[in-house]
Amino acid sequence: MHVDPDRVRRAFTPVARPELVRDLYSPDEVGRLFGVLRDHGPWSLIAAQTFASAEEFLAVAGGGGARGDVSLADLITPTFRGYFAQQAVCLYDEVQEVFYSTKLLERVKEMFGARYGLPAQFFFNLRAPARSLDAGHFDPQVWRGMDMVKVPVWFSTVMAKSGLFDRWEVRTGQVITYFYRSPEDGGFTYWPDGPAQPPARFPAPFWNDAVVVHNPRMYHRGEASGPVALRANPTGMSLETVIAADGEDWVLRNGDEVIARHDASAMRFLFHYGARVFDDLDEVRAYYDHTDDLTMDRALGLIVDDLRGHGLDLEVPDDPFDDPAFVRTLADAYAVSPTSYPAEAPVDAVPA
Ligand SMILES: [Fe+2]
């Protein structure tokens, strides 16, 4: 079965097109933010923090046709992540005023025309020269009673694609700021009119330039970046590989062994701020008082009912959230992905 196109368009049309904001942070703020990246590493791979299997990865980022005997090691790129703040709590005093700043929150509230807002999340990606195997994805949605800490990413993705959970949605908007001085690829591709329509692009170079976006409701992807000759994964890269600053350079390490060293100019960084918004106090109360929460079991039940209603003969295993075959069945049933890419920014093939 396939999700009907109207449902997909509704699920993946953002509240507004991305707004570009040049030179977002002050020099002092840029210094504090990069100070955290330099002083508090090392940082681990996004893939190591997020996915346990190739099925889980494909449920989120799949769509490029990569299936069959792929392992997670074939699908990862040297993209690392750390957190300035998690669950509305700032982790480093030196960036506290940035995380709780009015200037970031107001951008998100304005995008939604929302009365109230709450800074929720602030993380950063550090990307060594890399291909882009990402065929397009959307960021995790949040529903009352569930959030990305408790919900497996693959299941959250299936829920979002199903379009069944709008009633419980906690809307979030993002301010994503890019730092990549090279004009060699490295842009941001996005699908502002849904994944079935042509994409648009925010091209590099950029330094301290931000997009204000509704990324849980808009397909997007980071493009390949860094010098082309350096984009293959370094020999020995695994889910245990970490990155850290070393003087002006950035080094990839397995334990104490350095497996790659990059000049800062080859790196692409982004700072990803997210806030939750509410139209009125009733919505705020429902969120904090848990008067209308969703649960994992209820969500799974609604998904299973939906699929059975579409004629799918579905057996639910004893451990539905950890069963690779079940993961794949649900991901296939709600398969949605972009259908076209910018000529300047194709999806790279999974290495043989
Ligand atoms: Fe994203």
The hierarchical CATH code for the domain 5-333 is 2.60.120.620
Q: Which of the four pLDDT bands, split at 50, 70 and 90, describes residue 232? A: very high
Kindly state the average pLDDT of the residues 200-213. Answer: 97
3-state class of 135 per DSSP? coil
Q: What is the pLDDT of residue 60?
A: 64
Q: Which of the four pLDDT bands, split at 50, 70 and 90, describes residue 64? A: very low
CA 17 to ligand 1 center in whole angstroms: 15
Query: Which of the given ranges, 139-153, 204-218, 231-245, has the highest pLDDT on average?
Result: 204-218
Q: What is the pLDDT of residue 49?
A: 85
User: Is 1's pLDDT higher than 70?
Assistant: no
Q: What is the pLDDT of residue 58?
A: 66
CA 6 to ligand 1 center in whole angstroms: 23
The candidate with the shortest Cα–Cα distance to 49, out of 86, 97, 13, is: 86
Q: What is the pLDDT of residue 146?
A: 87
Q: What is the pLDDT of residue 258?
A: 97
User: Is 279's pLDDT higher than 70?
Assistant: yes
The candidate with the shortest Cα–Cα distance to 178, out of 125, 133, 243, 247, is: 125
Q: What is the DSSP string of 7-62?
A: HHHHHT--SS--EEESS-S-HHHHHHHHHHHHHS--EEEHHHHH-SSHHHHHHHH-
Residues with CB under 5 A from ligand 1 (ion): 139
Q: Which of the four pLDDT bands, split at 50, 70 and 90, describes residue 340? A: very high
The candidate with the shortest Cα–Cα distance to 269, out of 208, 211, 347, 213, is: 208
Q: What is the pLDDT of residue 151?
A: 84
The candidate with the shortest Cα–Cα distance to 337, out of 176, 54, 131, 134, is: 134
Percent of the chain at pLDDT above 90? 74
Q: What is the pLDDT of residue 66?
A: 46
CB 270: neighbour CB atoms within 10 A? 21
pLDDT digits (tens, 9 = 90+) for 20-40: 999 999 999 999 999 999 999
CA 34 to ligand 1 center in whole angstroms: 20
User: In this structure, what DSSP letter does residue 133 have?
Assistant: -
Q: What is the pLDDT of residue 133?
A: 86
Q: What is the pLDDT of residue 47?
A: 86
pLDDT digits (tens, 9 = 90+) for 295-312: 999 999 999 999 999 888
CA 139 to ligand 1 center in whole angstroms: 5
CA 215 to ligand 1 center in whole angstroms: 6
Give the start-to-end residue ranges of the domains of the chain. 5-333
CA 271 to ligand 1 center in whole angstroms: 11
Q: What is the pLDDT of residue 61?
A: 59
- Whole-model pTM: value is 0.90
CA 305 to ligand 1 center in whole angstroms: 29
CA 220 to ligand 1 center in whole angstroms: 6
CA 241 from centroid of its chain's CA atoms:
20
CA 18 to ligand 1 center in whole angstroms: 13
| Measured distance CA(129)–CA(298) in Å, rounded | 42
Q: What is the pLDDT of residue 313?
A: 87
CA 317 to ligand 1 center in whole angstroms: 30
Residue 88 backbone zone (phi > 0: left; psi -120 to 50: alpha; other: beta): left
CA 219 to ligand 1 center in whole angstroms: 8
User: Is 57's pLDDT higher than 70?
Assistant: no
3-state class of 196 per DSSP? coil
pLDDT-wise least confident of 15-24, 74-83, 92-101: 74-83
CA 311 to ligand 1 center in whole angstroms: 33
Task: Kindly state the greatest CA–CA separation across the chain.
Answer: 60
CA 97 to ligand 1 center in whole angstroms: 24
User: Is 164's pLDDT higher than 50?
Assistant: yes
Kindly state the average pLDDT of the residues 52-78. Answer: 64
What are the E-state strand segments in the chain? Answer: 19-21, 43-45, 79-86, 89-90, 116-127, 142-143, 169-170, 172-180, 188-191, 200-202, 206-213, 219-222, 242-246, 249-254, 257-262, 268-278
Measured in degrees and rounded to the nearest 5, phi and psi for residue 10 equal -65, -40
CA 137 to ligand 1 center in whole angstroms: 6
What average pLDDT does the chain have? 91
Q: What is the pLDDT of residue 334?
A: 87
| Measured distance CA(120)–CA(6) in Å, rounded | 30
